[in-house]
Chains A and B, each alone.
Chain A
Amino acid sequence: MSILGTRVVRTEDPLFLTRGAVYTDDLTDPRLAGALHATFVRSTVAHGTVTEVDASAAREAPGVVAVYTAEDLGDLQPVPPPLPFLDAGFARPWLVPVGGRVHFVGDLVAVVLTEERYQGEDAAEMVVVDIDPLPAVVGTAAAATDETVLFPEVGTNKVAAFGEPAPEDFFADCEVVVTRAIVNQRVAAAPLETRAASAAWGEDGRVTIWCTNQGAQQAQGQIAGWLGLDPKLVHLVTPDVGGGFGAKIGADQEYAFVAWLAQQAGRPVRWAESRSENMTGMLQGRAQDQVITIGGDRDGTVKAYSLVVNQDCGAYPRIGTVLPTLTMLMAAAVYDIPKVHAQATCYATNGTSIGAYRGAGRPEATAAAERAMDLFAAEIGMDPADVRRKNFIAPFTEPFTTSSGATYDSGDYAAALDRVLEAAGYAELRAEQARRRERGDVRQLGIGVSAYVEITGADSGHGTSENAELEVHPDGTATVLTGTSPHGQGHATTWAMLASEQLGIPVEKITVLHGDTDRIPDGGGTMGSRSLQQGGAAVHQAAVELVEVARKRAAELLEANPDDLEVDLANAGLSVKGTPGTGITWAQLAADEQLIVQTTFTANAPTFPFGAHVAVVETDVESGKAVVTRLITVDDAGTIINPLLAEGQRHGGIAQGVGQALLEEILYDEDGNPQTSTFADYPFVSATELPSFELVEMATPTPMNPLGAKGIGEAGTIGSTPAVQSAVVDSVAHLGVRHIDMPATSMRVWRAVREAQKGSTN
C-alpha cells in the first residue's frame, strides 16, 4: 500500500514534545560561548528629526561592552530598498543619526552590547534620545496628500503605482452598479517566536549567522550584500523556526547588524527581541484601502468589476510594495467576468513596514471580490450563493486565463460551493435564520459564503524551481537535503514519505535537513505555499532518479538486464522481476559506492488551489457581539500527500482568517503611536473565539507537477476571512446593514445596526 495519502504522524514531534524544539534563542552552540547580548534602542516617536543621542551614561552602566550610535558605524552604507524600481531615497539607515529622521516607532537609533541579557535593557534605557517631532503620516489617505513627505529627497510618499484608471464607460452597459470603499486592515503576523539572531566569526574569516527565517539562502544573499561581504563568507543557519506566516521572509536589518556587531566586538553576539519590540519591528501584513465597484444585470450576471487599491507600505518600503500586483492578478477571483479592472498605488507612511502575511496579496483580492458579490447580491435581492454560482468560471481541466490575466491550471468552483453548502446544511441554516428574524431574537444567525481561488508556487525570487539531494547510506538510512524551509509545516515527515514511497525505506530512517547554506547553498525557502509542489516534487524526482542510478549499478553487480530489475519496496532495494528478495538493497549498493542524487525540479507554472467556505455566526444584536459557531470548508489543493498535516494547515489558516475578520488590527493614534504593541492589546485570536472546524474533502490534481499537488498553506485564510466577515454582515442584514469593515468588532456591528435603523446608509 502506498504511504502517500496516509495520516503519518510527524517524525519531528518526539523531540519537540520532550525536550522542545531548538529555536535561535535556545542554541548552545560552542561557537556562541561567551556571546554578548545586543539590545536595540528604538525611536518612540513615529516621525521626527533626531536632535540628540547621548550614550555616555549607558557606556558606564554595568556590563556594557559597547554602545553604537550612528557616529560609530564606520563605512556601513544604508540598506537600499529591496526592489530595483524603488527610489534610492527610501534607503534605511542602520541607525538614525543626529539630524536624520526617524520614520516609525521602532526605528533604530542605537545599540548596546552587554555581557548579560538583563544588563542590556537597563543600559538601553540610559541612552538619551531627543527627537523633534514632525506630523505623522498615518494611513494611505494622509500619505496621498503629500502634505507631509516622509523622505524629502524622494519628494513624494508615492512609492509605486501599477495599472491605469478604468475607462469612463466601464460600467455603461450595467443595469446595476454598486461601489464601496472597504478596508483590508493592517494586521500582525505574530508568529509565537519573535525575531532572533546570533552570529560568530571564525578564524577563517567567515561568519556563521543563526536566525529565525523562512529561507536561509535568500537571507544569506541579502545580509552579505548589505554588509559588503562575499556571500561565500556568510554561513547562514535557520534552526527550528517558531512560525513565520510570511513575516520571516527575507533578512531583517537587525540580523545583519548582529553579524556586524560580532565582527566589531570580536566576540559572538546574540539578540532576541521582546514581543513589544516585535509588534513594531517585524513586518506586518495586508494594510490595503480598497474601492470596489461591481456592475451587472438584475438577473445576477456580473458584467464588470473594478478594484482600486491603496497600499500602505509603512515607513521603509519592502516586499509589501509589490503584493498589490498579486491582488490585481487575482482580482477576477473565481468569476468569469467579461471586464475586470485593477489598479494599485503604494504609499510610504509612518508605520511598521508591510511585508507578506499568510496569503500575501491574494486574501485582499478574494476579500474584495467576495464583498463585491455580496453587495451586488444584496442590491438585486438574490441569494449570495446563487449570484456566485451564476458567475463562476465553468469547470475546466485545461488552463483558463481570466480577465485580470491569471492563467489557472484546473478548477471546478461550482462543485466546491455545492459541496460546502451541502455539508453546511445551507437551506436549513437559511430557514433557521428566517425563524429568528421572524421572532426578532436577540441572537440572530448570520451565514457567510465565500468562494476563492489563489495562486501558489508563484515565482518569489527563486523561479518555480527547487532542488533536492537524496543519499542512501550503507546502514540503510537516508538523508534528504532540501531548499525549502519548514517552520511548522512538517517537511521532515512529508519529504521522508515521498522518498519512502519510491525506496521503501521507513520514514523513521530518513533524515531531512534544511536551512543551512553550507550544506544547501541553493534553495527557495518556504513561502507562497510553494514547498510541496516544488520542494516535495524535487524530493520525489530525486528518489525516482536514485532508483535509476541504482538500477544501472545493480544490473552490473548482478549481471542482469536493467529492465529485468524492479523496485522491491519490502526489502528497500531492487530485485529480479518476479522473485522478490533475490536482489540487492540500496544499502548494499551504497556500501559499494556512494549512492546519491542531486536534482532540480522546475514546475511549468504556478498552481491555483480553490475552495469554498461557509461561516455561521450568532450575533447578539443588542451588544453587537458576533460569535463564530461553525466553519465549514472545502479547500481543494489537488492531491494530498499527508492528510493529517494538510488538515493542520487548513485549520491554522482558517483561524487566522477569523482573527482578521473579527478581532485583529494594528492601530495607531494620530501621532503614529502604536496602540496594539503587546499581546494584551492586540487581540490575537484564541481558542475560546473559535469553534472546531468542519472540513470537507475535495481534490482536483494539478498537471503542473508529478505529485498533482497544489499549495495548502494559505488557502484557509483566504477563504475564511471573507466568509466570516460576510456572515457578520448577514446576521444584521435584515436590520438594513450592507457592510461592516474588518475587524467586525462588537462596537462596529452595534453602530452599523444603529446607523441603519436611523436610515443612513452604511
Chain B
Amino acid sequence: MQVSMTVNGQQRTDEVEPRTLLAHHLRDNLGLTATNIGCDSTSCGACTVMVDGLTVKSCTVLALQAEGSEVTTLEGLSTDGELHPVQAAFRSEHGLQCGFCTSGMVMAAVGVLADNPNPTDREVREGLEGNLCRCTGYHNIVQAVLKAAESGPAAGQVPSAKQEVTA
C-alpha cells in the first residue's frame, strides 16, 4: 500500500507492506537509522519518535497509521547545524554513553519538556519511564533534561511540527 507522511519536514510517499512498522519504515525505507529497535515488547523506547508533536514508540505503530502525519526523528531535531537544547544538554551533561537508547531518549525528553517545561527530578524520571538505558544509570540523563529545561520553551519543541493542543 502507499503511505505518505512528512518526515523531518520532507514529504515522503512510499510503497509498503501493510505490516511494516514505522520504525522499519524510517530505518529501512527512508534510511533514518538513528531510530533504533531495542526490544519486541514496547518496553525500551529506543524507537521513540514524534508523530504530530507527541512521542510514540515507532516499533508499535504501523507505518500506515502515520498516514498524513508529521514525523520527527532525532535526525530532524537540530536546525542549521545548531544542536537542539535537549541534544546540547545531553552532550554537556554526558547523558549518553553507547548511544543506542539516545535517539529515543532525546525524543522522549523533548516530549517530557513539551508536557512539563519545568519538571522536577522525579517528574523527569516518571516522564522517561518508558525509555530504558543500560549505560548511564539515568543520572546524567535526568541532569540533561533538567539542564535543557533551563533554556526555556524551545526545549520542548520540535522544528516545524504541528503544535497539537491536547484536550
Contacts and interface: CB of A to CB of B under 8 A. Distances in A.
Q: Do any CB atoms of chain A lie under 8 A from CB atoms of chain B in the complex?
A: yes
A74 interface: no
Contact of A651 (B35, B96, B136): B136
A192 B41 contact: no
A442 B149 CA distance: 36
B148 interface: no
A192 to B, nearest CB: 4
A33 interface: no
Contacts of B129: 686-688
Interface in B76-102: 77-78, 83, 87, 90-92, 94, 96-102
11 contacts: A13-B96, A16-B99, A20-B33, A118-B17, A240-B98, A240-B99, A679-B43, A680-B41, A681-B41, A687-B131, A687-B142
A14 B137 contact: no
B15 to A, nearest CB: 13
Contact of A192 (B20, B40, B133): B133
Interface residues of B, number: 57
Q: How large is the interface on A (under 10, 10 to 19, 20 to 34, 35 or more residues)?
A: 35 or more
Contact of A655 (B31, B33, B41, B138): B138
A515 interface: no
A376 B138 CA distance: 35
B33 A652 contact: no
B75 A20 contact: yes
Contact of A243 (B34, B128, B135, B140): B135
B135 A17 contact: no
Contact of B44 (A10, A13, A192, A692): A192
Given A14-B91, A652-B137, A275 B38 contact: yes
Interface of A: 9-10, 12-14, 16-23, 25-26, 28, 117-118, 190-194, 240-243, 245, 274-276, 487-490, 644-645, 647-648, 651-656, 678-681, 684, 686-688, 690, 692-693, 716
A652 B46 contact: no
Contacts of B74: 17-20
Interface of B: 17, 19-20, 24, 27-28, 31, 33-36, 38-44, 46, 74-75, 77-78, 83, 87, 90-92, 94, 96-103, 106, 121, 124-126, 128-129, 131-143
A242 B100 contact: yes
Where chain B touches its partner, the secondary structure class is: loop
Contacts of A648: 94, 97, 135-136, 140
A693 B143 CA distance: 11
Contacts of A686: 128-129, 131-132, 138
**Of B78, B129, B133, B142, most A-chain CB atoms within 10 Å:** B133
Contacts of B137: 651-656, 690, 693, 716
Contact of B98 (A9, A22, A242): A242
Most buried by A among B39, B106, B124, B142: B39
A488 B135 contact: yes
Contacts of B87: 17-18
A118 B19 contact: yes
A687 B132 CA distance: 8
Contacts of B24: 117
B46 A17 contact: no
